[in-house]
């Protein structure tokens, strides 16, 4: 029972902070609010953000700048979809890209019919695309991805090297991914994050993927906390959680731990060394 649960205590270097973000409003979200059958339409293949979605991105970007979060994030992991990458670079990317800059643009201007300027890759964390945090696969064309080459032509500074296939071989028409398989994929993704050296990681993904993955957690705490962990994400919502490596899968050493005072020149226990130093001081 949760009433018997005691506070958890873990070594700091076994913990990572994850900043979970659902993509901003996409054109498929608007269409499906009017008619849920719109999710089945090829018209919304790999859906892009709406004008309102871009306003949500700008608001979240302002928040991460004002709170200092933008300076803390070491890595941005993003699902391979247009709307998640648009959200990720808009929130965590650099300032507007100018011609002549000696860096790659993180995203080119007008990517995905956005009517937006490009973002620079200067002064922002690295971005890496990950297939494991994609939306629930199958059935909905909005969740089928483009070729990696198409994405690379738009998002020059996102690292796509972890993607094994040029084309989408995971999404199968008419075959919905089982919920338990989404959870298993989410756990595989979190286990991968545990092996990363970065300590604060932004994850820009999808409502269904985040909901099903987080539903596996919170069983060891107060019901209200489980509700806080597992509730649905709004468009462009950011929620920060701590990931604990209880299996010691990660290999990062502690950076802030300190072994204690070592007596200078004396191979003695500290209390004996202190007494001897005191005696020498009195003799002088």
pLDDT digits (tens, 9 = 90+) for 104-156: 889 999 898 888 999 889 999 999 999 999 999 999 999 999 999 999 999 99
Predicted confidence at residue 221, as pLDDT, reads 84
Residue 23 appears among annotated catalytic residues: yes
Predicted confidence at residue 259, as pLDDT, reads 80
Over the stretch 47-101, which tens digit does the pLDDT of each residue have?
999 999 999 999 999 999 999 999 999 999 999 999 999 999 999 999 988 888 8
Residue ranges of domains in the chain: 11-253
Annotated active-site residue in 19, 23, 28, 140: 23
Nearest Cα residue to 55 out of 114, 3, 128, 13: 114
Annotated active-site residue in 19, 135, 177, 212: 135
Predicted confidence at residue 158, as pLDDT, reads 97
Question: Structure tokens of 66?
Answer: 């004002």
Predicted confidence at residue 248, as pLDDT, reads 73
Residues whose CB falls within 8 Å of the CB of residue 258, separated by 6 or more in sequence, listed in order = none
Question: Structure tokens of 146?
Answer: 């483009």
Q: How is residue 96 annotated by DSSP?
A: B
Identify the band that residue 281 occupies on the pLDDT scale cut at 50, 70 and 90.
low
| Percentage, residues of the chain above pLDDT 70 | 89
Identify the band that residue 218 occupies on the pLDDT scale cut at 50, 70 and 90.
confident
The CATH H-level (homologous superfamily) assignment of domain 11-253 is Phosphoglycerate mutase-like (3.40.50.1240)
- Mean pLDDT (the chain) is 90
Residues whose CB falls within 8 Å of the CB of residue 54, separated by 6 or more in sequence, listed in order = 24, 86, 90, 114, 116
Under DSSP, is residue 228 helix (H, G, I), strand (E, B) or coil?
Answer: helix
pTM of the model: 0.87
Residue listed under structure tokens 């990950």: 130
Residue 180 appears among annotated catalytic residues: no
């Amino acid at each position: 029972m949760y009433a018997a649960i005691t506070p958890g205590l873990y070594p700091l270097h076994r913990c990572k902070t994850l900043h979970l973000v659902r993509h901003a409003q996409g054109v498929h979200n608007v269409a499906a609010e009017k008619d849920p059958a719109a999710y089945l339409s090829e018209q919304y293949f790999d859906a892009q953000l709406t004008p309102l979605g871009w306003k949500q991105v700008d608001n979240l970007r302002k928040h991460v700048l004002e709170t200092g979060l933008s300076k803390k994030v070491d890595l941005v992991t993003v699902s391979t979809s247009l709307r998640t990458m648009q959200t990720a670079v808009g929130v965590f990317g650099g300032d507007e890209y100018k011609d002549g800059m000696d860096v790659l643009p993180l995203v080119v201007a007008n990517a995905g019919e956005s009517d937006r300027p490009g973002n620079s890759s200067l002064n922002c964390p690295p971005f890496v695309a990950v297939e494991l945090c994609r939306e629930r696969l199958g059935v909905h064309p909005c969740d089928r991805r483009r070729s990696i080459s198409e994405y690379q032509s738009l998002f020059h500074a996102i690292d796509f090297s972890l993607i094994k296939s040029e084309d989408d071989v995971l999404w199968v028409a008419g075959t919905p991914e089982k919920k338990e398989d989404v959870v298993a994929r989410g756990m595989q993704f979190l286990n991968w994050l545990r092996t990363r050296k970065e300590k604060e990681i932004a994850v820009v993904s999808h409502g269904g993927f985040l909901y099903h993955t987080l539903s596996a957690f919170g069983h060891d705490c107060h019901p209200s906390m489980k509700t806080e962990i597992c509730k649905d994400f709004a468009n462009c919502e950011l929620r920060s959680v701590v990931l604990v490596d209880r299996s010691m899968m990660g290999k990062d050493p502690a950076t802030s731990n300190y072994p204690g005072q070592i007596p200078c020149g004396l191979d003695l226990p500290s209390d004996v060394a202190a007494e001897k130093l005191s005696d020498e001081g009195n003799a002088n």
